[in-house]
Amino acid sequence: MARKWFMFIDKNGKVTASADAVFVDIEDVAALRSAICDRFKTSSLTGIAACDLVVYADQTTYELKQPLQASSQIERFGITMEDALIVQAPLRSKQDSRYFILPQAQEEVEKATFTIMGDDGDQSGFGIAVFFTSTLAVTCNHNLTELHTVGSVVSLAWKEEVVETTIVARNLQLNFAILKSSTSRPFIAPWNSSDSDTLEGLFNFALAFPLSSGKLAFARTTSTCFSPHLPYLIYSCWNYSGASGAALLVADGCLVYCQGYWQRQDKDQGL
């Protein structure tokens, strides 16, 4: 394990606490965010998800507004108190009781969501892919055919835009596939915490899936728990045919996983 020094700043860049340190198993930004949130989740970071934290290597990169990415390696940073990393914890927007997912989160999700195109260019009924990094998207493995091997090209579409991606991984048992774009895309930051048990029983989940009208619909989910057999999060919500791969989100817009389901009349239980 490595000890990483950091200091908190507010949205105006003002230091809010003296430098502190946490231990991480993996020296990247994602692990640092998770460790910080785990330590401060009952105090200064109550109600703030790990993906909300913005991490800068130093004061210079903060002033240039060049944050580190979730996958950025931090072996060279935060080694001592004097070269502490900078962590900005934005204020949580006040929840509007009219929404179970905030409007700004809805806009971000729509930019990262695409439907899978058929070989003939058809955009309906083939499932959904969601970008979770600037170049990687996730979908359900069953949305692809046996002809879609690793290295095959899969076309994604949303409204007038078409994105060509390449399959880089498929997992039959866990029912997911990873697609890679050669160009950077808007994406939904993944939910990031070392304590997955905090997901069980939450009521503020939303499922985002496209409608035929070219709009994104959001359905509230309930009854969350983990499957005893595989690492699936089970929930219940209204859904539509062709929604496999839809983004499952927490209320502030962080991506938990993509939708897989078995059908029970009009209602679906998701995995």
How is the chain split into domains, by residue range? 2-88, 95-271
Q: State the pLDDT at residue 266.
A: 39
Whole-angstrom Cα distance, residue 38 to residue 48? 11
The phi and psi torsions of 29 (rounded to 5 degrees) equal -65, -40
Q: How many CB atoms lie within 10 A of CB 245?
A: 29
- Alpha helices, H only, 73-158: 103-112
| pLDDT recorded at residue 67 | 92
pLDDT value, residue 151: 92
The domain made up of 2-88 has a fold known as Ubiquitin-like (UB roll) (3.10.20)
The token pair that represents 220 in the structure block = 């509230």
What residues have CB less than 8 Å from 255, skipping those under 6 apart?
130, 132, 188, 189, 190, 191, 247, 248, 249
- Determine whether domain 95-271 maps to CATH 2.60.40.10: no
pTM, to two decimals? 0.59
Two structure tokens written together for 262 = 């078995």
d(CA 115, CA 163): 10
Which residues 6+ apart lie within 8 Å of 134 measured at CB? 69, 184, 185, 187
The answer to whether residues 242 and 113 touch, using CB atoms and an 8 Å cutoff, is no
* Residues of the chain under the 50 pLDDT cut: 93, 261-271
Query: What local confidence, expressed as pLDDT, does residue 182 receive?
Result: 92
Query: Which of 146-153's residues contact partners 24+ apart within 8 Å by CB, and which partners?
Result: 148/177
Q: Amino acid identity of 1?
A: M
pLDDT at residue 263, as a whole number: 38
So what's the pLDDT on residue 262? 41
Q: Where are the beta strands (DSSP E) in the chain?
A: 2-9, 20-24, 54-56, 85-88, 113-116, 128-131, 136-139, 153-158, 161-171, 176-181, 205-210, 216-226, 233-238, 247-250, 255-258, 261-264, 267-270
